[in-house]
Structure 1
């Protein structure tokens, strides 16, 4: 039996055994009888029109059922009205097979459906497509003159534009005692989770579908299918109990979902569509972004002027935006600030949120420029940040609901050994390796939105808690079970958290580090409400013991209800169920933030410290050790939270040193659409990593006092590595990723 309480403890994942033994089923692994397989045909040109599509050779193969394209696709409801999913940016959502227009390279233009996957793939290779090509533009750097302000929409609520300028930046910068400036770029990155995008559609009848989809939001995919194909929401069930990595790639429905449902409804058969690894590069990604900074400070080290400008890419049909430049004035209280953000529409697919979207992008130039300015002032980088520490978000003028960043600096620096840093670049060596220390600050919003949950006491005295939320591998199942168990006074073994099913109570897409803060309070509320129901029933069943007691006196522990002032008064859950004629007792509750309670800025903070070794002759870079100290409110599960931070740190190493999708703008095409050439870290690239959680109490963020940890682990790593490389080599490399050729 798991001892109560469990919140704050390091609990192993409850689904761990299923995952490591292979019994956990993913979207392409469900056994469905009489199954057809679809294979997507993608455009090989970047822009133009499809003149013709010769499908006869494919259709002639025995076992090929149909080849869908823009000429023979079934009619769909969405072509009559504008539909947007939960994560859709302003603009017009992409509609597969709408017409013969090609909007970007790799666009899905057809679907072969056959009796086997291998046959569908082979038949797709036989389809010959003739195009009328048009001129295209995919080069961000060559088109910065066409940058414009993004259109505003619902997404603006969660992705606000930069605040208005404050003070007189130009005057403050030009008269500053010390100045630092730079130009920065990071390339395109694709999510590349281990599990390929897949959808298995079980055709129940002409109006009813059961769908196993790779998604970060079962209800989002349900809404998408129902609205696009004109079905009733209740007749579309989307199931996703396991997901082999998301990182934001599953926030929007991807095109295999459309293709599989379209084919299933038209053929009245069960259909599965799985994308190949190369096809994983034909939808959303972290956009290439160009940035400029100018910071100024007085002789005492006070930041007086702050300028950051960012230009990102988007598609022609949607305005994808990120919060890139807002972070600087939230962290550092300069009086004269100008922040600019714009986008350039190109002939590409719409970018998509990728772990810490905008935060990891904007923190990189911000934290490097802070280091540059510290050097100009002859100050230690950590000392400079502490000099400009604030408990007020200067961008909004609001205080933070909690901010233990100073403690992050202190504990992180101590654990890392920051005091041993030699401030003079290129002076510390180990054999033929140059050694450098670097640090950076991290920050991420602590958001929450509406969530719902249901709690059911069954006749066996155990409780089932239901929510449509997914678990993308972050430990959601385990954490929600902990929250429910502690509220109910039960062991983990007596609580079942049932999730990943659109038939269950509403949960939003899982992203933005808001899942615990959004669904957790709903679970807590539902369980609290169930306790109240049990107490009322106990008052009726044993009126002599509980009739005159207040609910505040109730104690719920190990399946028994008793009273604080009378431990002898008790009733078991089984007794309550028996008196209820064996019927389950259930309750459903919602939880959401108070829209009037906006007087605080709510955020998680971190401090990253990194040591690198750089081969003096070859320029090969290795991150030998790193420490990240995190302040993220109440940590529900230290084991899963540590795993999240470690994952973010590893991805930060990848972003700084390995990861980029290369686009040849002559063809408008990504050239390294495979895991052999799209480089990510392997075990040999990762050395000693340490995570420290700083104690932080916050009664404003939510009922649990919890802030998300999914993103905060990555945001500070890339600039910390870049700063460490400078300390080792004396070279400032502002173009990510940093490869050895840039140091040669």
Structure 2
């Protein structure tokens, strides 16, 4: 069952509209509706706010501002992880960034709330805002640590000496723009008050974090907050923590003693949920004439919010990727009065590999060496900075298999030398690596009297297939058909996990489920072998086989339903757990990652410089695959995301106000079907026994890692134009396009 391409068990619910999302709950009865009013300046102070007209508007039940908002708990920086901290709103007159909530209007209908929100009049005193990254890059400072607790800087050997003595050197700067998670489901919340308790239907990725954050903000016991989120319409990092719509809905519901719904508009999402920081990256590579790296440095400067620090681990990927005796990496932050940076799919790896893998292509060009061979030549034997062995590294296998399948030997070595009609044609490739993380997770498996397995955990399904892989692992562990397994997710009353994010969700939850099944098997076998009514009485449990809904020991067998019908409930329930990676010795003794190789073919119009992606191939090593179909889908989605980052995605800041100019999906470009041709995904067979007992590792973010660089390198191969300021657009390629004969 594990590894098979099983269709999503929740698929029928979704395609028939029976999967209920946060904004769609009606069990609480007729709710009130809230509309957020955002600041129209980027820095300053509210000097006056007139809510009279809004309060007198039809259907309005409340207008909440900093004047009447309840007191809230402060952000507690001693809590290690941002998403578990309080997230207070409307706490004072100061404006920290454009769009920051300045009021919430609550009315009987959605339309009444939106109309009344336009009637709130706010006067400001403008402050001097810092909005332009280029103007303030010199103010950058070193944070205490990078995201996920990683070191800010690392140094091995003597970089200056190694780089200075290198026969061939690359020293280039790359820039990446602000980028956003844009899930299909907007950030939304319904809060229903029940006595002192709050039932919170919210779209979030980590239930435990949502519960803790809401409770800390409202200053109430976490046991009074009941989070419900069985289905999440995408997250990509933007729903790891809760946001202002949730806190505002909770505050209003407590005050009005009525259910309150609040959803962000698409434009508000651009200003209120945070984004991937813009970055300026300097990559220096020094190599001998044979292509072996002697020195490697990756220095990153990015934006941060002055009040909520975030240092995306952009240079951290480089630390484990290639061998080189002399090494440097660093992270610096430039404070700007913009929304805070936050985890966006593949935080660190996505922008970091875009730069490093472009630089490796530049080195290959300078050496006149095949880019695949250059990477193979610099394959390390141990982690070059931690000096520990890799758990299961198959990057070279990915590179070679990808080159074979793609037809890499047909690549023209000289850029701008292959033309097909009106198109310059080029090939590009890149390597991929991503750290595998493990977080604490608990899963409860219970057998009902009829032998059905019920699996419960607060783990979420953000569209990645959690319901399906948990079904497969549980069915495999208890020898049940898939239709005898029921998965219940996304409730704070269930056993706690770190939810979906960081590509840890599937491996964490399935490992915990597997362990729960093992414990439950022991209980069932003990009950059956010690029960004179059972055909298994007196049999050796060590020889037991669970299959087809029955337990067999030798020539004796008994249906699970008959065993469970005779034993008390505590005998047919078990819980399994995973540890935080810091408490698991394997994660200190080994360097545990996933790997891949990307290949891309592009066409570039000879006159207009229009870039068209023609095909992509990704070959990946992710340990054991839990579901071949969902894994392929996740990897393909990541590859497409990477192509968009290379060619389209870019949020533009108005330097006068700090507003994002293109804050809608008409102007913030992401790939559509016409942009993406054939995408082939290949996953190598594998099993990483250092990662977990199932041998499985995360796939959700690996697909984006390096994908954009393969496209960028293909554009160079097609045209000879090297663009280091992403995304690669027509106006950046056109001036350097080869001249054509008349």
TM-score by length of 2: 0.96
Partner in structure 1 of residue 175 of structure 2: 185
Partner in structure 2 of residue 737 of structure 1: 727
**Is 1:66 matched with 2:62?**
yes
Asked if structure 2 preserves the Cα contact closer than 8 Å seen for 1:468 and 1:506, the reply is yes
Distance 1:163 1:149 in 2: 9
- Could you say what the CA RMSD is over the residues aligned between the two structures, in angstroms? 1.7
User: Of the candidates 76, 82, 89, which is equivalent to residue 88 of structure 1?
Assistant: 82
**Is 1:115 matched with 2:78?**
no
Asked if structure 1 preserves the Cα contact closer than 8 Å seen for 2:86 and 2:216, the reply is no
Distance 1:178 1:558 in 2: 63
User: Of the candidates 128, 131, 138, which is equivalent to residue 145 of structure 1?
Assistant: 138
How far apart are residue 83 of structure 1 and its match?
6.7
Distance 2:609 2:477 in 1: 55
Partner in structure 1 of residue 603 of structure 2: 613
Cα 1:670/1:184, change in 2 over 3 Å? same
User: Of the candidates 12, 24, 30, which is equivalent to residue 29 of structure 1?
Assistant: 24
User: Of the candidates 578, 583, 599, which is equivalent to residue 589 of structure 2?
Assistant: 599
**Is 1:590 matched with 2:583?**
no
Partner in structure 1 of residue 37 of structure 2: 41
Q: Give the 3-state SS of the residue equivalent to 1:664 in structure 2.
A: coil
Partner in structure 1 of residue 738 of structure 2: none
Distance 1:345 1:93 in 2: 22
Distance 1:581 1:366 in 2: 59
Partner in structure 1 of residue 457 of structure 2: 467
How far apart are residue 84 of structure 1 and its match?
7.5
User: Of the candidates 25, 28, 49, which is equivalent to residue 53 of structure 1?
Assistant: 49
How far apart are residue 327 of structure 1 and its match?
2.3
Partner in structure 2 of residue 491 of structure 1: 481
Partner in structure 2 of residue 707 of structure 1: 697
Partner in structure 2 of residue 240 of structure 1: 229
Asked if structure 2 preserves the Cα contact closer than 8 Å seen for 1:457 and 1:584, the reply is no
Distance 1:250 1:541 in 2: 49
Partner in structure 2 of residue 3 of structure 1: none
How far apart are residue 687 of structure 1 and its match?
0.1
Partner in structure 1 of residue 740 of structure 2: none
Q: Give the 3-state SS of the residue equivalent to 1:28 in structure 2.
A: helix
Partner in structure 2 of residue 720 of structure 1: 710
How far apart are residue 545 of structure 1 and its match?
5.5
Distance 2:377 2:432 in 1: 17
**Is 1:103 matched with 2:103?**
no
How far apart are residue 433 of structure 1 and its match?
0.2
Q: Give the 3-state SS of the residue equivalent to 1:392 in structure 2.
A: coil
Asked if structure 2 preserves the Cα contact closer than 8 Å seen for 1:83 and 1:93, the reply is no
How far apart are residue 546 of structure 1 and its match?
4.2
Greater shift after overlay, 16-25 or 630-639? 16-25
User: Of the candidates 261, 276, 282, which is equivalent to residue 272 of structure 1?
Assistant: 261
Distance 2:269 2:255 in 1: 26
Asked if structure 2 preserves the Cα contact closer than 8 Å seen for 1:308 and 1:339, the reply is yes
Distance 1:454 1:84 in 2: 31
Distance 1:307 1:666 in 2: 35
Unaligned runs of 5+ in 2: 735-742
- Give runs of aligned pairs for residues 484-563 of structure 1, distance below 5 A: 484-542=474-532, 546=536, 548-563=538-553
Asked if structure 2 preserves the Cα contact closer than 8 Å seen for 1:447 and 1:517, the reply is no
How far apart are residue 361 of structure 1 and its match?
1.0
How far apart are residue 163 of structure 1 and its match?
5.2
Distance 1:83 1:222 in 2: 17
How far apart are residue 550 of structure 1 and its match?
3.9
User: Of the candidates 4, 8, 11, which is equivalent to residue 3 of structure 2?
Assistant: 8
Cα 1:543/1:19, change in 2 over 3 Å? closer
How far apart are residue 440 of structure 1 and its match?
0.3
Cα 1:548/1:45, change in 2 over 3 Å? same
Distance 1:183 1:383 in 2: 24
Partner in structure 1 of residue 354 of structure 2: 364
How far apart are residue 150 of structure 1 and its match?
1.1
How far apart are residue 195 of structure 1 and its match?
0.8
Distance 2:677 2:381 in 1: 34
Asked if structure 2 preserves the Cα contact closer than 8 Å seen for 1:87 and 1:252, the reply is no
Asked if structure 2 preserves the Cα contact closer than 8 Å seen for 1:85 and 1:220, the reply is no
Cα 1:108/1:396, change in 2 over 3 Å? same
1:564-617 alpha-carbon deviations (Å, 9 max, x no partner): xx22x2222222233226887212222225533321000000100000000010
Partner in structure 1 of residue 405 of structure 2: 415
Asked if structure 1 preserves the Cα contact closer than 8 Å seen for 2:299 and 2:330, the reply is yes
Distance 1:84 1:676 in 2: 41
Cα 1:736/1:159, change in 2 over 3 Å? farther
Cα 1:101/1:363, change in 2 over 3 Å? same
1:689-730 alpha-carbon deviations (Å, 9 max, x no partner): 000001222110001100100111001111111100000000
1:153-183 alpha-carbon deviations (Å, 9 max, x no partner): xx75x34025531222122212211111211
Asked if structure 2 preserves the Cα contact closer than 8 Å seen for 1:48 and 1:131, the reply is yes
How far apart are residue 400 of structure 1 and its match?
0.6
- Give runs of aligned pairs for residues 21-420 of structure 1, distance below 5 A: 21-31=16-26, 32-76=28-72, 78-79=73-74, 82=76, 87-88=81-82, 94-152=87-145, 158-162=148-152, 164-205=154-195, 207-282=196-271, 283-420=273-410
Asked if structure 1 preserves the Cα contact closer than 8 Å seen for 2:623 and 2:696, the reply is yes
Asked if structure 1 preserves the Cα contact closer than 8 Å seen for 2:441 and 2:496, the reply is yes
Distance 2:447 2:527 in 1: 13
1:269-293 alpha-carbon deviations (Å, 9 max, x no partner): 1000011011001121111000111
Q: Give the 3-state SS of the residue equivalent to 2:523 in structure 1.
A: helix
How far apart are residue 94 of structure 1 and its match?
5.0
Asked if structure 2 preserves the Cα contact closer than 8 Å seen for 1:426 and 1:729, the reply is yes
Partner in structure 2 of residue 19 of structure 1: 14
**Is 1:671 matched with 2:661?**
yes
Greater shift after overlay, 166-175 or 253-262? 166-175
Distance 1:26 1:516 in 2: 21
Asked if structure 2 preserves the Cα contact closer than 8 Å seen for 1:309 and 1:340, the reply is yes
Number of equivalences = 729
Partner in structure 2 of residue 580 of structure 1: 567
Asked if structure 1 preserves the Cα contact closer than 8 Å seen for 2:639 and 2:704, the reply is yes
Q: Give the 3-state SS of the residue equivalent to 1:534 in structure 2.
A: helix
